[in-house]
């Protein structure tokens, strides 16, 4: 009996907890408004994925902004939080706290798109995405053209193999009864007639039996880059693909004969090299002249010193007469 009571209260607590959690499904760009349910003049705190958005003082209405990116597009009076211009990064858990109570809101932003794009070539493959950011396990209902029949798959991503004109039209993703998003597919096919186009004598483009070719004749280094092929169809639909070309690596001769400001590059190189040699000769000449001047000045100083030394008088010598000794006799 005691075990039954414990289980009962656990289920009751779980029910009450889930009942406090509101769930919103919104399109990209929509607005969502969430209610906290706090009494008037209560201090409230709003968080997004446990990061502070606002802290509001109930009595004064003073707001403290948090570091969450939601602050940039949200407004609140404490009791309600309104977030506009929803994006996929805004999906998550919003929590309102007041007087020891907590109320949670889960917001899921939904987007619909086709890969590789809404315009498809006949017999190609495609994917339709109904992405519910933050909740990839939720099943959705797809409605297919022409009359909105239910598609048998209920996953958020469905595969279309070898599309035909029957797949063209509006595909609708039904998330909830009040939220539907649509994407329109256009399926096109190639002409069977041969069309040849010449453009500036560099390109040769031909369309024949579903095959499109673009040949670049005499490839140069300047041809490197991104090439985009766009096909426009009646009704305004278009299809674009691109590829990158590396171009031909130029030879040494091509590089040297390239025109730079109307003069071939090798001429500029020759002029530059000659200028460097000329400047070097000038510098060497100046240095040699300065060295010679210093040597001449030094030689003159040494010559003057030698002359001064020669003109100085020698030491004076005194001559004493010889005297006779005591035994000297005339």
The one-digit pLDDT tens for each residue of the chain (330 residues) are: 454 444 444 434 434 444 458 899 999 999 999 999 888 888 999 999 999 999 999 888 889 999 999 999 999 988 899 999 999 999 999 999 998 899 999 999 999 999 988 988 888 899 999 999 988 888 999 999 988 899 988 899 999 999 998 999 999 999 987 789 999 998 887 654 445 444 444 444 555 444 556 667 777 777 777 777 777 765 566 767 777 666 556 677 777 777 778 788 888 888 889 999 999 999 999 999 988 888 888 888 777 777 766 665 655 555 555 555 556 554
Cβ(81)–Cβ(36) under 8 Å?
yes
Residues contacting residue 63 through CB under 8 Å, at least 6 positions apart: 54, 55, 56, 57, 76
Residues in the chain: 330
Residue pointed to by tokens 């039209």: 169
Of 56, 89, 94, 52, residue with least CA distance to 71: 52
* DSSP summary character for residue 202: T
Pairing verdict, β 238-245 and 225-232: antiparallel
Strand order in the sheet with 195-199: 195-199, 203-208, 211-216
Residue 278 to residue 270: CA distance in whole angstroms: 12
Residue 27: which H helix or E strand, with range?
strand 22-27
Joined together, the tokens standing for residue 37 give: 């349910």
Residues contacting residue 72 through CB under 8 Å, at least 6 positions apart: none
Q: What's the whole-model pTM score? A: 0.56
Residue 112 to residue 207: CA distance in whole angstroms: 33
Task: Using CB atoms within 10 Å of the CB of residue 83, give its burial: 0 to 12 exposed, 13 to 18 middle, 19+ buried.
Answer: buried
């Amino acid at each position: 009996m005691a075990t039954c009571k414990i289980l009962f209260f656990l289920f009751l607590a779980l029910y009450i907890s889930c009942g406090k959690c509101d769930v919103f499904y919104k399109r990209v760009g929509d607005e969502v408004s969430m209610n906290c349910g706090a009494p008037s003049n209560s201090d409230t705190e709003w968080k997004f994925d446990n990061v502070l958005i606002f802290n509001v003082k109930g009595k004064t209405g003073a707001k403290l902004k948090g570091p969450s990116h939601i602050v940039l597009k949200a407004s609140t009076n404490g009791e309600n939080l309104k977030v506009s211009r929803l994006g996929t990064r805004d999906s998550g858990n919003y929590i309102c706290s007041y007087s020891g109570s907590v109320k949670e809101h889960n917001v899921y932003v939904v987007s619909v798109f086709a890969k590789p794009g809404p315009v498809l070539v006949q017999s190609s493959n495609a994917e339709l995405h109904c992405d519910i950011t933050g909740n990839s396990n939720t099943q959705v209902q797809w409605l297919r053209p022409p009359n909105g029949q239910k598609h048998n798959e209920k996953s958020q991503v469905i595969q279309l193999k070898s599309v035909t004109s029957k797949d063209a039209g509006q595909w609708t993703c039904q998330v909830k009864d009040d939220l539907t998003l649509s994407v329109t597919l256009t399926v096109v096919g190639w002409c069977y007639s041969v069309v040849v186009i010449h453009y500036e004598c560099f390109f040769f483009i031909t369309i024949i039996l579903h095959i499109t070719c673009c040949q670049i004749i005499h490839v140069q280094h300047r041809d490197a880059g991104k090439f985009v092929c766009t096909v426009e169809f009646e009704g305004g639909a278009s299809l674009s693909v691109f590829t990158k070309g590396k171009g031909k690596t130029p030879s040494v001769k091509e590089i040297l004969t390239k025109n730079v400001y109307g003069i071939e590059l090798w001429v500029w190189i020759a002029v530059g090299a000659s200028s460097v040699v000329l400047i070097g000769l000038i510098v060497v000449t100046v240095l040699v002249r300065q060295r010679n001047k210093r040597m001449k000045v030094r030689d003159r100083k040494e010559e003057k010193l030698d002359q001064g030394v020669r003109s100085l008088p020698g030491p004076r010598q005194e001559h004493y007469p010889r005297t006779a000794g005591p035994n000297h006799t005339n």
